[in-house]
Structure 1
Amino acid sequence: MNVGAKLKAWAKRIKRDGVTLWFAGKHPLTPWFAKALGLFVVAYALSPIDLIPDFIPVLGYLDDVILLPVLIWLTVKLLPPEVLAECRIKADEWMQMEGAKPRSRFGAVLIVALWLAAGAALWFWIEPHM
């Protein structure tokens, strides 16, 4: 298997596990700490808006290539094996039926709120110096 095929298979697994976390968040046997981290990860992963916009050279893709896969991996490791197996099956079925990942309006609102908070913090930091 060549490097391109390995990367493509890895990306597909990450995408599937992102949807898996969406289902795990609703599962009653998922521990609260996995649900909390999973909620954040899913909101960010499914948000149509990135924390670091993709048009920023290098940094724009850093969150997509490093941050998001690490957070998904960590959250998946926190899930009980039976919950993980059940939710992966549901995720595979969802992706076959829908052909795409779901979207999260909450995630988009969360990212916009973070940018607004950062802008407000910067404003209050700069304002006294003027």
Structure 2
Amino acid sequence: MPARKFSDEILEKAAALREQGLTFRQIEAETGVPSSVAYFHCLRLGADSPETATDTSTPGGPMIYKRGRHHVRRFTPAEDERLLELELSGMRICDIARKIGRKENSIRGRLMLLARKEARAERAAELEAAQ
């Protein structure tokens, strides 16, 4: 296995900067961690900027779109529900990916996004209840 490019300390610093409200480009300038890497690790660590911490909106647009030279297929609400059911049943990510017909990294990323969305909804509810 190749050596890791960024230590846990630097990735945690990137997450802390995100929680302070810095953009991913600002994080890159300060830490040297590329913005796409910072995005992934902030998602993995549950770090959210204060401006988006309660944003529960769902992106719109076409179900299939082009990103670079690749076509990307959005997850449907039914796929999200099935994905969560399979995860709760204890199924491994590689098996979920095979069953749903997606790549492992897509499943892993989607599970992290769904967890972030749930955390944001909880924060929004707490803020609303406090008012």
TM-score (norm 2): 0.28
Structure with bigger RCO (C-alpha 8 Å, 6+ apart): 1
Structure with greater proportional strand content:
2
Higher helix share: 1
